[in-house]
Structure formats: structure tokens, C-alpha cells
Structure 1
Amino acid sequence: MPTVLVPLLLATDQISKLWALRSLDPIPKPFLPGLYLTLVHNTGVAFGLLKGNPFWLGVFSLLVGFALLLYLARARLGWITSLALSLMTAGALGNAIDRLGRGWVVDFLDIGPGLWPVFNLADSFVVIGVILLLLPWGRSQG
């Protein structure tokens, strides 16, 4: 599963970011109820922490992504754990590509101006992966 899922998720993340760069601006645009599209150049990590360190954050994200990819390739995992780690791998690699290639991460998903930091698909992948690992059936599944 990870050999197909990680590149698919990574491509989806990068295509969405290219679209955002070409189509959006920093002014929030309503998209769906409770969801706006707002282009943000994020030089930090979650919630704007550690701003101004894109190279080292990119290296760290790249190392985490490759470590997870190696683990996925070698370990015998159940499907929930494999899905969770695939999501986390794609998220780490997607944001590493941005940090190392652009010097900042493309964020564009906004659940309400000022309510929550703007994020992207890679961020969502990491959060969903962590949630899957934390759920009781995700932990016991293997």
C-alpha cells in the first residue's frame, strides 16, 4: 500500500499548492461554508512557530519523511498503521519540498480568518495520520 499511496498523496499535495500559488492571494475567499481559501507563505511550522528557519526545518522534515518511508518499506504493518504512516510520510515530504525548494510552505486552507492558522493538505495528512495512530483501534490493529 505505501508504495502507491505515498507518491499519490505527495503529488496531490504539490498539485494543490501549485494551484494555490497560481489562483489565490492573501485575501480570504469563501469556498464552502466554514472554509476559505487564503494564500499564506509560511516560513515556520504549525501555528507559525519557529519562523525564519526554513532550511533546517526542511532538512528535518526530509529526514523524518525518509525515515518513515524506510520503516514503511521494511515493517510488516496492518492497514490502519500503514495508512497512518503513509499520510504522515507524504505530509512530511510535501512540506520538506516546499521549505527546501521555496524557502517557505504554501498554506491555503483557512477555516475562518483569524480562527485558526491557515494550513495545507500536507498538514492535514500529518494530523489525520496521528489521529489514526492514537485511536484505540489504530493502536491495537498493528
Structure 2
Amino acid sequence: MPTVLVPLLLALDQILKLWALENLSPTPRPLLGDLLYLTLVRNAGAGFGLLQGKAFLLGWVSLLVGVFLLYLLARRRYPLGLTLGLSLVAAGALGNGVDRLGRGWVVDYLDLGTSIPFIAQFPVFNLADVCVTLGALLLLAPKPKKRLF
């Protein structure tokens, strides 16, 4: 599965970023009412404005993480949840790493448009970020215990 999932997600991530660069602007455009907007942001750091101007360093870290996870996935078979989690994190890390090293910044375009306190301040993000987040959640999720009956 990772041999198909990682390159598929990486390609989709880059296609969506190219689409965003061609079709979006910094002015928010509603996608799902007041819940989700499309907003073009050129992010030269990490989420929440951290490490601004460190794209080169972040790019190499992202690529190293992605390649290391691919190496782990190639070495042996893991349970489905672990394989899916590692694959998602690898695809997301590689997607944003390619941006940081290729452009010097990450293309972000998904914007949560709500007035809920924490979410209202949430940074604009992209598919690679979604992959990393979902993958991390899968990796951290409690594993089901075997039942005796």
C-alpha cells in the first residue's frame, strides 16, 4: 500500500498547490459557507508563524523525515493502521519538503473560516498538512485490545 499511497498523495498535493498558485489570491474565497475558505498563502516558515525564514532547514528536515519513513515502510510489513499512519506522514513531509526546497516557501490554501476561538486563529494549511495530521493521529490512536470472548 505505501508504494502506491505515498506517491499518489504527493502528486495530488503538488497538483493542488499548482492549481492554488494559478487560481487563488490572498483574498479568502468561500468553499463551504463560513466553515472553509480558499486563501493563497506563501508560508516561509512552519505553522502558526513559527520559524519564519527557515524554509531551507525545514525543507531538509521534512525530506529526511519522509525518506526515513519510506525506508521503514520498505523494510518490513506493519499492521494496516501503522502502515497508513506512516504513509500519510511520509507523503505530507515530502510534499511540504519539496515546496520548501523548490520554492523557498510552502503553498497553503485551506482556511478555516469560523469565529470559534482556537480555530479562528488556525493557520492556512494544505493537503500535505492534512496528511501529516491524520497520520500522526493514526499513529497515536490507542490500539484495540484483543477480546477473550
TM-score (norm 1): 0.94
* Unmatched runs of 5 consecutive residues or more in structure 2: 115-119
Deviations 1:48-96 (A, max 9, x none): 2000011111011111110001001113201111011100000000000
Counterparts of 2:47 and 2:27 in 1: how far apart (Å)?
20
Map 1:78-117 onto structure 2 (within 5 A). Answer: 78-112=79-113, 114-117=120-123
Tell me the amino acid that sits aligned with residue 8 of structure 1.
Answer: L
The answer to whether the aligner puts 1:123 opposite 2:124 as a matched pair is no
Look up the match of 1:3.
3
3-state SS of paired residue (1:40): strand
| Amino acid aligned to 2:9 | L
Q: Which residue of 2 aligns with 1:132?
A: 138
- Computing the radius of gyration over CA atoms, which structure comes out larger, 1 or 2? 2
What pairs up with 1:55-74 in 2 under 5 angstroms?
55-74=56-75
| Distance (Å, rounded) in 2 between the aligned partners of 1:135 and 1:59 | 28
In the alignment, which residue of structure 1 is the partner of 2:32? Answer: 32
The separation in 2 between residues aligned to 1:4 and 1:92, in whole angstroms, is 16
Q: Distance in 2 between matches of 1:30 and 1:131?
A: 27
1:93-121 deviations in Å (ceiling 9; x for gaps) = 00000000000000000011753110000
1:47: Cα distance to partner?
1.3
Identity of aligned residues (%): 62
Larger helix percent: 1
Ranges in structure 1 where 5+ consecutive residues have no aligned partner: none
